[in-house]
Amino acid sequence: MKPVICMLLAFALLLSPAAAVDTLFDDAITIEAPSACLLEKTTGEVLYEKNAHEHRLIASVTKVMTLLLIMEALDNGSIGLDDMVTASAHACSMGGSQIWLEEGEQMTVDEMIKCITVVSANDCAVAMAEHIAGTEDAFVQKMNEKARLLGMADTHFTDCTGLFDDPNHYSCAYDVAVMARELISHEKIKEYSTIWMDTARDGEFALSNTNKLIYYYDGSTGLKTGYTSKAGHCLAATAMRDGVEYVATVLGADSSDHRFDSAKTLLNYAFANYTLCRLRPDDALPPVPVKLGKSDCVQPVYPDVSEAVIEKNRAANLRYDLQLVEQVDAPVLTGDPLGTLTVYSGDEPIAELTVTASETVQRLGTFGIFARMLNILSCIEL
């Protein structure tokens, strides 16, 4: 366990640019919104923060968590896309952005998700919350439980819509980015979040995406807008190019244009300056011989960390230096260090990872050693 912890600490020291990037970023661009965050999806690496842990109202960006729980319910089979959802009086009373559900009206889960994602329908969000958890309050408990599991320390929900500007309902730019990253890990959501225009109710109700980046920003994959007079203009924006996806969150902007401009600035900066680099070569790791072990060798493995975000100008000439021990004495425990992999950009090291044993190899006892010696002797030609 200790070698794994040491490896992660060393990795964090080598690859955590948060403070330095923030300083450089302030000189490179200007974000007008009072609170913002930028992170990369695969690694979760934060590339920029501005008041990112400040508690703020987030309006309908709340529905990122609502949609995340819906996606999880789809994944675990507790609901299906063709299930019919019945609108309650409570759901129909929401106001704000809505599709004007009538009490008793039924729509499929598929259509409900589309309406929540594309036009931020509050009535559909509450109908889905009740469909999954029985009541909106019970669903909100699930939202807060999920927030805790994701480490969202600066978030608390009191409803599933963000409509009411409750001071006890808040989040922050970083936490919004965390839950947005989790949501886009469910690729299904992008079938809805990338819709520009569509219809509901068999073509009778027109839908137009509130996220204008879907229309004009190259690679946009979503995700969710929000606005109330107290929360200001909020946005969780996601975009992918060349296999790299970023999450940009903007809270409290003073206009809709400024929230989109701020998100676009963050995403442009990320795509222009950063990329993912692979932290392991393609060659398979050779087994390491084990002296006096019940197995003759043990298979080394790389850590789970497989990619890192680095500046593009450092990614062109990566090389890998693998150093494995020639032999290890038994017993060998799972996770024991067997060597290191150093990743270089030119002559500059950018990461050092500990290569560890994939399994435990017990030491031979006296009888086992004697049996092995007899086996060796029997193979010697006299």
- Token pair for residue 209? 């995406």
Measure Cα distances from 152 to 16, 301, 321 in Å. 20, 31, 37
Q: What per-residue string of b and e applies to 134-169 under the rule 16 or more CB within 10 Å gives b?
A: eebeebbebbeebbeebebebbbbbbbbbbbeeeeb
Contact 60, 224 (CB under 8 A): yes
First and final CA of the chain: distance in angstroms?
A: 48
CA 35 to CA 54: how far, in whole Å? 7
Sign of the torsion formed by the C-alpha atoms of 127, 133, 139 and 142: negative
Residue 63 among the catalytic residues: yes
262 is catalytic: no
295 is annotated as an active-site residue: no
Q: Is 307 exposed, middle or buried (0-12, 13-18, 19+ CB in 10 A)?
A: middle
Q: Which residue in the list 35, 120, 262, 345 is annotated as catalytic?
A: 120
| CA 44 to each of CA 37, 110, 147: distance values in angstroms, whole numbers, following the listed order | 11, 29, 16
- Closest C-alpha among 87, 131, 134 to residue 106: 87
3-state DSSP percent of the chain in helix, strand and coil, to 5: 35, 30, 35
User: Are the C-beta atoms of residues 331 and 360 closer than 8 Å to each other?
Assistant: yes
- Using CA atoms, how far apart are residues 112 and 161, in angstroms rounded to an integer? 14
Q: How many CA atoms lie less than 13 Å away from 331 in the CB half-sphere?
A: 10
Considering the candidates 35, 41, 60, 97, report the single residue annotated as catalytic: 60
What are the E-state strand segments in the chain? 35-40, 46-50, 84-86, 106-108, 197-200, 205-208, 220-228, 232-241, 244-253, 274-278, 288-291, 297-298, 300-301, 307-311, 318-324, 328-329, 337-345, 348-357
| Catalytic one of 41, 50, 63, 146 | 63
Catalytic residues: 60, 63, 120
